[in-house]
Amino acid sequence: MLFDSTLRRDLARTFGATVVVILTIVLTMMLIRTLGMAAGGKAAPQDVVLLLGYTALAHLPTMLALSMFVAIMGTLGRMYRDSEMAIWFASGVSLSRFVRPVLRTTWPVLLVVMLLSLLVWPWVNERSALLKDQFERRSNLSRVTPGQFEASADGNRVFFIERNSPDGTDGRNVFIYGRLKDSESVTTSRTGRVEVEDENRYLRLGDGQRNEIDRKSAERTLSRFDRYDVIVGDRLASPTDDLPPKARSTMALLSKPTPEHLGELAWRLGLILAATNMVLLAIGLASTNPRRASNWNLIFALLTFIVYYNLISLSRAWVSNGKLGMGSALLITHGAALLLAMYLMWRQDAARRLPRRAAAAVT
C-alpha cells in the first residue's frame, strides 16, 4: 500500500541519519571521558579502546530508543508541516492507523534493544568490571613507568625502576622508598620480580640493600640481602565474587531474586518496554500546526523522554530498596506511559471526528 511504503521509507531514512548523529555525539563524549580516566590513572591506557567499546554497547539500547523516538517525531512532524497528514486524515486515515507501519519499521530495532538489554548489557558490564578490577589489582611494580618516580596505591611507598619487562613483572635497578608511622626505609636492588604465592602478591628483590631509620630513636639499620620479599597487594580473590547486579546475567538474577537483583531486572525489562512505549508516544506527540513554525512540541517530547528514563532509574531504586515490587514498578511506570500514548492518539482522532459529525448533522 502506498501509505505504508511511503511512511516506512521516510522513517528508515530518518532513523539512519539520526542514529549516525547521536552515535557520533555520544561516542565523542565517551571518548573524552575515557581518555580523562586514563590520564587520571583510573584506567589503563591500553584499555581505552576496549572501555570505549563496552561503554558504547552498554548505552546502545538507550541511544537506539532515542533515535527511533526522534526519527518518528521528525518524520511525522514534517508530514504535519507539509500538510501531508491533513491529506491522509481527509482520506479517512486515523492517527492510530500509523501504529502498524511504524511498528513494522521499528520491530527489528526493538528486537535489538531487547537482546542488548537482556544479554549484552550484563556482559559488557562484567567485562568492564573485570578490566577495572584487573587495573586495580596491578602490582605496584607494574604501575611504574621506567625512569620515573611513582607512588604506590596506598601512598606509603615510592618506586623507581630503571627498566622493566613488557609484562610489568620484572624490573632491574629497583629503588623503593617506604614510610610508615615510626620509620622510613630505602631499599635498592639489582633485580625485582612479582610473584604470587598462596594468593598473595610479593615483590621479590635480589642482590640489594635496605637502609632503615627509626624516627623516634634515630637508630639506623643497614642490611644487605641476596633475596628480599615485599608484599605489594591485597590477598587475591576471584573477581566474579563481588560483581554488581548489573554485571550478572539475566538468568543469574532470576535464580536469586533478591531486591537488588529484581531492581536490575526491572531496569532491563524497563528498557525494552520503554523503547516500545516511546514509539507510541512519538506518534501522539508529533502533532504540529502547519501555520506556526514552532519546535515546542519537539522540546516537550525530548523532555518527556528524559523524564521517562529517569522514572525507570527511580523505579529500579525503589525495587532495589524493597519499597516496591518489580511487577508493581513495571506496571506503574510503563503502564502509565502506555495509557498516555493511547490517550494522546485517541484525543487527536476524537478532535478530528467532531467537525465531521457536526458537518454531517448540518447537511
| Sign of the dihedral through C-alpha 165, 170, 176, 179 | positive
Mean pLDDT along residues 244-256: 88
pLDDT higher than threshold 90 for residue 110: yes
Summarised one tens digit per residue, pLDDT across range 153-179 is: 667 788 788 766 665 567 788 888 888
Share above pLDDT 70 across residues of the chain, in percent, rounded to a whole number: 83
Q: Which has the higher per-residue pLDDT, 29 or 140?
A: 29
**pLDDT at residue 149, as a whole number:** 77
**pLDDT at residue 66, as a whole number:** 92
Please state, in angstroms and rounded to a whole number, the distance separating the CA atoms of residues 246 and 263: 10
Q: Is residue 84 a contact partner of residue 51, using CB atoms and an 8 Å limit?
A: no
pLDDT higher than threshold 80 for residue 202: no
Single out the residue of 340, 352, 356 nearest to residue 284, CA to CA.
Answer: 340
**pLDDT at residue 359, as a whole number:** 45
pLDDT classification of 318: cutoffs 50, 70, 90? very high
* Cα-Cα end-to-end distance for the chain: 33
- The kind and range of the H/E element at 18 are helix 2-39
pLDDT higher than threshold 90 for residue 132: no
CA atoms within 13 A on the CB side of 28: 6
Summarised one tens digit per residue, pLDDT across range 233-242 is: 555 455 555 7
Please state, in angstroms and rounded to a whole number, the distance separating the CA atoms of residues 179 and 181: 7
Name the average pLDDT for the chain.
82
Domain-by-domain residue ranges, the chain?
Answer: 2-136+241-362, 150-231
Single out the residue of 35, 248, 18, 213 nearest to residue 130, CA to CA.
Answer: 248
Q: Which residue has the cell 541519519?
A: 17
Mean pLDDT along residues 49-67: 90
**pLDDT at residue 169, as a whole number:** 61
Mean pLDDT along residues 290-310: 78
**pLDDT at residue 129, as a whole number:** 82
Surface-to-core class of residue 32, CB atoms within 10 Å of its CB (0-12 exposed, 13-18 middle, 19+ buried): exposed
